[in-house]
Amino acid sequence: MYKAMLFDLDGTLVETAPEIFDATNATLEECGYETVTQEQINSWIGHGTRALLIKALAFIHNQSIEEIEAGPILAGALPVFDKHYQRCCGTTSYLYPHVIEVVKKLGAQGIKLAVVTNKESRYTDRVLAAHGLTELFDIVVSGDSFPVKKPDPTSILDCLEQWQVSADDALFVGDSSIDAATARNAGIDVWLLPYGYNMGEPIESANPDRVIQDFSELVA
């Protein structure tokens, strides 16, 4: 039995891609640009919404990531995206099967619980609150909680230090190669779910310790 479990958010606890799609395309339309597909959005999820917007703008303008980051296009689009995503957060997203019941059961067993996501905190907080998750976790680490994001292990290591839990007693649950790399970098086990966003690649390619079909397997 693990003493601590840490969870990714998007594609693991909550299906958020539809509202990220809505916010991104509303931003692109307001800025006078072409829109993108849901499939493209899904393939760009994982490094935070700023990185996702940069990839969308780079695709539309046929520019490199570096060119978008250094130019005026991003500066103009960021506040527009923030407006639309603040509006969309928690509106069309939904919990994956068994999430609430399993997280409550794990907490009742005394297991330390954390959310570790690359999503910026202002969006993380809204999504968690919208789905009744906020109070179920001991720690929430967002993409702007530290100067570095996943796959850097700082977020995991900080949680373990706060809890005084060893790496051998901790598990990371996610849906992508980013999550797998984060767990490996922190020296903890990782179980991955197949229904999230792994940039179009089979989840087995991330070489997790285990692939689970849904949250019920965490308490099986």
CA-wise closest residue to 20 among 79, 87, 75: 87
| Distance, CA of 147 to CA of 173 (rounded, Å) | 22
| Distance, CA of 17 to CA of 13 (rounded, Å) | 12
For this structure, is 8 an active site residue?
A: yes
End-to-end CA distance of the chain: 11
Beta bridge pairs of residue 94? 15
Q: Is 63 left (phi over 0), alpha (psi -120 to 50) or beta?
A: beta
Q: E strands along the chain, which residues?
A: 4-7, 14-15, 94-95, 112-116, 139-141, 170-174, 189-192, 210-211
Does residue 151 have a cis bond before it (omega within 30 degrees)?
yes
Rg for the chain (alpha carbons), in Å? 17
- According to DSSP, the β-strands at 210-211 and 189-192 are parallel
Question: Exactly one of 8, 22, 82, 179 is catalytic; which is it?
Answer: 8
DSSP 96: P
Tally the C-alpha atoms within 13 A of residue 154's C-alpha that lie toward its C-beta: 12
- The residues annotated as belonging to the active site are 8
